[in-house]
Structure 1
């Protein structure tokens, strides 16, 4: 049998960073995001050879182990091992061998939630294989626990829920890991226009989001007013973005993104740098009305709202920085699993 899964990556439109503890535990966080037609995929093939083979095709990394109930973590394929170890601990199973193969449509550290989406996809493949009774909230929370508790990776909560639920969602985050996912019923013509006007640009640089997130969390713990106030403003940005999308006030989106870009830079050092600032300024000079760094910041993808037909000029103006634009579509589905 072959068991497959795929989960969509996401674009964060507003509120990024307010899903990170301790801010969301103390003040409550809010984020608006949308899933896109880039995916993380996982396949489990039963091999009957007494081996566990792990292969990340997009990273050209592979390992083979004799059958074991726990695989060693050594900073090599740890996301794959972490999911297996947790599944084996909570839902122990015997097998004569399997091969787990993964692929992600965007580079690690690119700001589209790649790592968390991959964990969701791997969890989904095991859920499919073992027919585990886990719903959407269960899977998202399970994936979050593997990353944050088992693997001790710093980060927020939005990516696991976006990948599992899919679509355009306004998410609320509270203490004790409480998460509320509110799907937004946005008219299709508004989504079509947003998709047309929103340019997804890869800076061709990646970053280690954990370092930025650790500093962001530290700033809240140490009660640094500038960082906390910036997060308050970003939470408000999520509300403004929700209203603009629901009402079709698309001309407001660039302005809302622009406000968020200024606030994001106040949360922690390393979120922006000279390259990001130069890219952002160039995009605005050539027609973009606003934009943001996707994910924690420091590199990876950026998005720009380009009203009318300005995205063509913006795209051309950014060629000097050596990055590339990526075509995409919004997707309504979240995690999908199946067997053949």
Structure 2
């Protein structure tokens, strides 16, 4: 029987982390536990896989203009160009050639979990290619292993779990496992929440500034403010989850502000050499009730809360600083792959 050469299309969602990022790293959660409130959105990373009849691998990024090619017998060079899909192909034990084409709705380092979404989408496409069944937990753990162990990229666990599971979730981290609990909020509450939120790109992205490594080092040094900031972030994840489940959205802005303060307390370098604080101040002056940086900091996206009546004034104010707004809605779908009429999704 001839092998199936039909293309496989995989998609993994990007996410907004409301609060708790940083507590999903092992140096913290192994001793204290960790908690993150996270929601996937209708922005994504998309991967098209086309099987080949040889052992050549070709990986192309439509966004970045990168193209890499290598033979499976010789293996790839890990040179910072498309290393994530290279490592995923090796980890998944692929023995036949493939062409991979990658497209993302957010640039690398933007704070929306794009790198992990990319790995998760590639894992899904390769799993469908090899007819391999995986649970959502297995997809997340496999993607984490590719990033953190194979490539030694610093970071936590939340992004892989967000992409694998999808939805609005409360994630809890411990030595034993990761618990994923859907937030119990009505569709009306989530729609009202989405109407209050704005997502603004600051015009720059985080590029190898070592913020996560600095955070880990500050904790190892026993810096008191770092420890207090992390404790506060963990507590706030529970508080914000409860506020959303109660439908108490009036407190959202102040909670986002407090989350940003706690994040700076944890790592005072997150806004260094960026327009982040200037843009947050401008947003508040234009009517925002609060806001924070997405991801580890160093640039990327701001998440702002404001009454819809203030949105236009905020857009105008931040556009003066180079801000670019991205419309979004919450999405409940985790990673998926499709080949013709057949769909691959993580099992329960």
Whether TM-score is above 0.5 comes out as yes
**Matching residue of 1:223:** 222
Q: What is the Cα-based RMSD across aligned positions, in Å?
A: 1.4
Distance between the aligned counterparts of 1:238 and 1:73, measured in 2?
36
**Matching residue of 1:318:** 318
**Matching residue of 1:94:** 95
Distance between the aligned counterparts of 2:104 and 2:308, measured in 1?
32
SS in 1 for 2:63: coil
Q: Of the candidates 7, 12, 15, which is equivalent to residue 12 of structure 2? A: 7
Pair 1:308–1:51, CA change in 2 (3 A):
closer
Runs of 4+ in 1 over 3 A off after TM superposition: none
Distance between the aligned counterparts of 2:69 and 2:242, measured in 1?
50
Pair 1:208–1:270, CA change in 2 (3 A):
farther
Contact 1:21–1:217 (CA under 8 A) maintained in structure 2: no
Gaps of at least 5 residues in structure 1 are none
**Per-residue CA distance 1:298-323 (angstroms, 9 max, x = gap):** 10000110024112211111111012
Distance between the aligned counterparts of 2:78 and 2:291, measured in 1?
38
1:80 aligns with 2:85: yes
**Matching residue of 2:68:** 63
**Matching residue of 1:206:** 205
Distance between the aligned counterparts of 1:296 and 1:259, measured in 2?
16
Distance between the aligned counterparts of 1:215 and 1:114, measured in 2?
21
Pair 1:22–1:199, CA change in 2 (3 A):
same
SS in 2 for 1:310: helix
Contact 2:27–2:216 (CA under 8 A) maintained in structure 1: yes
Query: How many equivalent residue pairs?
Result: 334
**Matching residue of 1:297:** 297
Q: CA deviation at 1:286?
A: 1.2
**Per-residue CA distance 1:143-195 (angstroms, 9 max, x = gap):** 0011000000001110000001001000001125x211111131111111111
Q: TM-score, normalised by structure 1?
A: 0.95
SS in 1 for 2:309: coil
Q: CA deviation at 1:261?
A: 1.0
**Matching residue of 1:243:** 242
Distance between the aligned counterparts of 1:190 and 1:10, measured in 2?
18
Contact 2:198–2:325 (CA under 8 A) maintained in structure 1: yes
Contact 1:22–1:217 (CA under 8 A) maintained in structure 2: yes
SS in 1 for 2:226: helix
Q: CA deviation at 1:116?
A: 0.8
**Matching residue of 2:157:** 157
Q: CA deviation at 1:209?
A: 6.1
Q: CA deviation at 1:50?
A: 3.8
Contact 1:34–1:169 (CA under 8 A) maintained in structure 2: yes
Distance between the aligned counterparts of 2:258 and 2:70, measured in 1?
50
Gaps of at least 5 residues in structure 2 are 1-5, 341-348
Higher alpha-carbon deviation: 210-219 or 146-155: 210-219
Contact 1:212–1:269 (CA under 8 A) maintained in structure 2: no
1:126 aligns with 2:131: no
